[in-house]
Amino acid sequence: MEEILDLLRDHHQAVPVPLELPDEEDLVVIEEEMLLPIPRDMRQYLLEASDVVTGSLEPVTVADPHSHTHLPEVAALAWSLGVPRHLLPLCEDNGNYYCVDPEGEVVHWIDGDLTGETWDSVWQWVRDVWLES
């Protein structure tokens, strides 16, 4: 995980208005708002790397409630489109979603259905999908 985090930080692109990292209290508020716990790896990503901007994908964030990547807003839209309620969106991609299940596995939801394509963890998804975008 540390190696992937370092790689992600190396690919970070400077932006005019940098993103902020949340703290544990922010995550508790988000969990209460969504009525779902955030799986461990996703929680770690949000706390340590959700300020990174790189590639063409924009994973969810929680520090700025006005951001188009704000987790509760992304989740509400995803769930309204049919993403199963037990999945937390990690990243929206042209109306399709990469989501994290309660055990921390990342799944891919396309056109109203799960594809069967999975990644063992958020960090594996970061390496194999996000950093390749």
Domains and CATH numbers, the chain: 2-132 (3.40.1580.10)
What token pair was written down for 16?
């005019």
Sign of CA dihedral 60, 64, 68, 70: positive
**What is d(CA 13, CA 15) in angstroms, rounded to the nearest whole number?**
6
18 phi and psi angles, rounded to 5 deg: -65, 150
Choose between 1 and 83: higher pLDDT. Answer: 83
Task: Read off the pLDDT of residues 30-59 as tens digits, 9 standing for 90 and up.
Answer: 999 999 999 999 999 999 999 999 999 999
Task: Read off the pLDDT of residues 78-117 as tens digits, 9 standing for 90 and up.
Answer: 999 999 999 999 999 999 999 999 999 999 999 999 999 9
Helices (H), 24-70: 24-34, 40-49
DSSP sequence for 52-64: ---SS-EE-B-S-
